[in-house]
Amino acid sequence: MACCGQNRERARTVTPASPWPSSPSAAPASVITPGAAAPLTGAITRLRYTGMASIVVRGPRTGRSYAFSAHAPEQTVDRRDADAFLRMALFRRV
């Protein structure tokens, strides 16, 4: 039977799981900011964010993060990610 000290040590060494699914590629996901040139390789589409708060959404297909806000609501998005965003009530195709 383990004593309390061993359990505390084990808790310190265990890394909590990330709330985000792992990226489909080995490359780290990049945050695409409004107005920046998006390094997209697939087909692209333009989306408009209709919310008021600033948000960052992660594309389920590419793993890219896209930053939207009320001040910069339109952005170019990889078409593979756009379908998932359009299912949310906060996005519209431009």
pLDDT averages per 10-residue partition of the chain, 94 residues? 61 49 46 52 88 96 96 95 95 96
**The predicted structure's pLDDT at residue 26:** 42
* Sheet with 31-32, side-by-side order of all strands: 31-32, 65-68, 55-58
**The predicted structure's pLDDT at residue 12:** 56
> Where do the structural domains in the chain lie, given as residue ranges?
29-93
Confirm if 35 and 12 have CB atoms less than 8 A apart.
Answer: no
**The predicted structure's pLDDT at residue 70:** 93
**The predicted structure's pLDDT at residue 39:** 53
Within 8 A by CB and 6+ apart from 23, the residues are 29, 63
3-class secondary-structure state, position 94: coil
